[in-house]
Amino acid sequence: MVDWFWRRRRGVPAPRLRSREDALPTARIDLHEFAPAPAEFLARAAYVQLAVFEHAARAAALVHATEAKATIALAAGVALDRHRALVELLAARGADPVAEMERVRPAIDRFLRLTEGRDWVEAALTCHLAGGFLDDLFVALADGLPRELATEVLALFAPRADPRYLELFTRAMEDNTRLAARLALWGRRLLGDALLVARDALAFSDDHRSDEARIEPAFSELVANHTRRMDALGLAA
């Protein structure tokens, strides 16, 4: 039953997600003009991945079932691999990764505190929904980076579709309508916190009014993708 998962690295084609989830992300999100300098972008993306790693690792520690534990630990590994790769890109540019990450920490630390969740399923949902939202954000911002760097970053953020991970939620919610209602609220809560992290990641110009008008369509798309993710899990947004 978990066969595919363990064999993925040996060349067996990755399994397909459900059709609704397959469609994600839909529209191209344009935020390229708000991309910060490469070092800031990389440091923020690296620290966000460390935050997603922390949430996933906590969920893996909290869940009892062996299969769920292993599945969530692998998701933590994906975030950690990305963190490592982003820090490497940063160091390769001659930047001091620790100093750069320190500069961008506050908004992400706040996000971490607020989105911890009260049990493994909330923590795991944070990784899927807020992690997915922030992936979309960094992919959109990457368009504004120097081309070669953008290509490397986009390769790192290639879809991490893992149907086993999504099944953890559908299985947990089976015969538990109260959990579904709680997770729907949690998913809605996460959006606000993710939006704050997103705003903090943008390099605004001096013309704030014009900036707000220009980011509006992109943020609408980020929210729409979030709603689609909720929807794919059967959570009312």
Region of 24-32, 99-107, 162-170, 175-183 interacting with its own copies (CB under 8 A): 99-107
Nearer to its own copies, 60 or 150 (CB): 60
In the chain, how many H helices and how many E strands?
A: 10, 0
Among 80, 114, 154, 166, binds its own copies (CB under 8 A): 80
Evaluate whether 216 touches 123 at the Cβ level (below 8 Å): no
Buried b (16+ CB within 10 A) or exposed e, 69-79: bebbebbbebb
Q: Is 5 in the site for its own copies (CB under 8 A)?
A: yes
State the nearest-atom distance from the C-beta of 89 to its own copies, in Å.
Answer: 10
What contacts 86, CB < 8 A, 6 or more positions away? 42, 45, 46, 49, 153, 156
Nearer to its own copies, 21 or 54 (CB): 54
Q: How far is CA 58 from CA 68, 112, 208, in A?
A: 12, 12, 38
Q: Is 44 in the site for its own copies (CB under 8 A)?
A: no
Restricted to residues 49-68, the positions that interact with its own copies (CB under 8 A) are 50, 53-54, 57-58, 60-61, 66-67
Evaluate whether 198 touches 105 at the Cβ level (below 8 Å): no
Q: Is 97 in the site for its own copies (CB under 8 A)?
A: yes
Q: Is 9 in the site for its own copies (CB under 8 A)?
A: yes
What contacts 159, CB < 8 A, 6 or more positions away? none
Among 14, 27, 37, 99, binds its own copies (CB under 8 A): 99
Provide the binding-site residues for its own copies, judged by CB under 8 A. Answer: 2-10, 50, 53-54, 57-58, 60-61, 66-67, 69-70, 73-74, 76-77, 80-81, 83-84, 87-88, 90-92, 95-99, 101-102, 105
